[in-house]
Amino acid sequence: DPDNVVLCLLAADEEEAGDAALQIHFTLIQAFCCENDINILRVSNPARLAQLLLPAAGPEPPADLHCVLVTNPHASQWKDPALSQLMCFCRESR
C-alpha cells in the first residue's frame, strides 16, 4: 500500500552497474516511488544497507538486499519525532 510508505532505501553497487535486469528493477522501483510521492534515499551499496539495518548479520549481506520500503502503519499520525526528522531531511535534500 503506497499510502503507508514513508521512505525507500535503495542500494546500488557500482559493481552491479552492468546487470541490466537489476538496473530495470531499480528503474521500476524509482518510477513507483516518484509516482506515489515516496522519498528515495540512495545507499552506497547493499553491504552498507545491511550494516545499517542488520548489524548482527555479519560481514556478508543478504544477496537480495537492494531495496527497503519503510512503512508507517498509521500514515495519518506523524507524531513520531524520528519520522518527522526523516521527512525534513528528505525535503532539505531535494
| Whole-structure pTM value | 0.71
Mean pLDDT on 1-13: 83
| pLDDT at residue 59, rounded to an integer | 62
Using DSSP, state whether 3 is helix, strand or coil: helix
What does each C-alpha distance from 81 to 1, 21, 31 come to in angstroms? 23, 38, 28
- Let me know: does 42 contact 93? Beta carbons within 8 Å: no
Give 78's pLDDT tier (boundaries 50, 70, 90): low
| pLDDT at residue 31, rounded to an integer | 94
Of the ranges 28-32, 70-74, 88-92, the best mean pLDDT one: 28-32
**Domains of the chain, earliest start first:** 2-93 (3.30.1330.30)
Q: Tell me: the pLDDT tens digits for 11-66?
A: 877 777 778 888 898 899 999 999 998 889 888 888 778 877 776 666 665 667 78
- Grid cell, residue 16, equals 552491479
